[in-house]
Amino acid sequence: MSQPTVEEAMERVYASLQADNTDLDLHIATLKAALAEAGAKEAVFDPARLAQNNRSGRKLMQAYFRQRGVTVKFAAA
């Protein structure tokens, strides 16, 4: 089975966030592997697609992902 692209992995993370964080750790690990394969250092998420699009929700997401080895940035509005 081939490794998903960064975009595919991010779509899975968005879906997981919308589904009350179902399998989120698995999708973060997939995203981490896809970033490493692509040579990228960080994932850039669209804040409008987040379940908790407020400052505390974004900071919580950044901290949670950072603990699992993924740096998260947010696209400018």
Q: Is the pLDDT of residue 2 over 90?
A: no
Residue 71, pLDDT score: 97
Query: H-helix or E-strand containing 74?
Result: strand 71-74
Q: Is the pLDDT of residue 1 over 60?
A: no
Contact 50, 58 (CB under 8 A): yes
Q: What are phi and psi of 23, to 5 degrees?
A: 55, 30
Q: What pLDDT digit, counting tens, does each position of 15-70 carry? A: 999 999 999 999 999 999 999 999 999 999 999 999 889 999 999 999 999 999 99
pTM of the model: 0.92
What the block records as the tokens of 33 is 């592997």
> Hey, what amino acid is at 59?
K
> Hey, what amino acid is at 72?
V
